[in-house]
Structure 1
Amino acid sequence: MNFININIDTPMKTLLLLLSAVVFSCTAMAQTVIKMRPPDPEEPIMTDSIVYEGETSVVIMNRQFLLDYMDMLDTALPRQQYSGLAVNHISFKNFSKADMAAHFQKAYCYLKDTTNKDLTYSTTKMYMQWAEDGGILLPYIETIMADLLQQARLKVIEKFVKPQLPVTSYKMIFEPVNGNDFRVFRLNNGKQIFRESTFAAEQQLATFYPR
């Protein structure tokens, strides 16, 4: 077998090194480590939680966060004439104004009723769009999930490991989809927590919490 020796001159070596550095730099910039912040004394105590279970992790959200978002929508949706695109979730992509108004009012009333406690969800379970139970809230939960994860305001627990304690950090990367950048959150071992593009409508990337 004959081997071919390729001599690379100094300028070419320099160029290759620069390109490697650029690739490494872009890779590093594309990934952000989210560190869990200490409890905020002014934040409501998590006495009534929403549990969102994925394949690799469980995310726990303070019910008050969802209520704050729904309170905001109660004012914002009429101003936007109950557009189906006002809530950035694929479920509402083709909703009429009447559908959006009816769905929101049904979900809002369900959430405000403190006797409703069935707020545990699993990505392996199918939920009806017009569910009579807590399933009616799922699109709104998934809409604010990425913002709250980016702000480290949710508890994330990895499944199938012991002890079952909230992680102290996780990672966020951006993935381009149809000209928009969507967030993907992963455990430090690479397992996925939540992928925003799975649920977000392609027409817009609405943000209701500051990034």
Structure 2
Amino acid sequence: MKKFLIAGLGNIGEEYAETRHNIGFKILDYLAGEAGFSFEPARLGEIGTCKVKGRSLLCLKPSTYMNRSGRAVQYWLEKEKIPLENLLVVTDDLNLPFGTLRLKTKGSDGGHNGLRDIQQVLGTTAYNRFRFGIGAEFGKGQQVDYVLGTWGEEEREALGPRLKRSAALIRSFALAGPKITMNEFNGS
């Protein structure tokens, strides 16, 4: 059975649960609800597994905090013998309008500390990343407060359909591969 590591980035703790920066956790929680699996405490994070048409998706929510996500990702890739091309990192992106989905197979960290750490630990920028747009509705010097802030009322109302679309993107990635998935989902 073909195995995938789906790593949703976020910060542990109730104070971060509903923040924009935790969209990676939120998307995996939504996928778990749809697929009927739960997360269990494990080394360097929480792990849950689901099957999608002959594919096994190992879903990881690292407990290392966002800026140290690389260690958890590397550990589970190696432990489960999952090839790098079957890794998908799910994260927030300030440079995309709210709710915009973008899958890329490689690229820079874009100033994202979680992606920067993964890149340093893995020693490559050639890994799949799924960025969920959180917009950039903040004033000068307010970036940290915005990213670690909770969703606005309009965003909360629009989040449900975007989470559903995000879960569909993850399933498509595992079943159809990145190229077809990018064509179908990017910018949507």
The higher radius of gyration belongs to 1
TM-score using structure 2 length: 0.28
Which protein is richer in helix relative to its size? Answer: 2
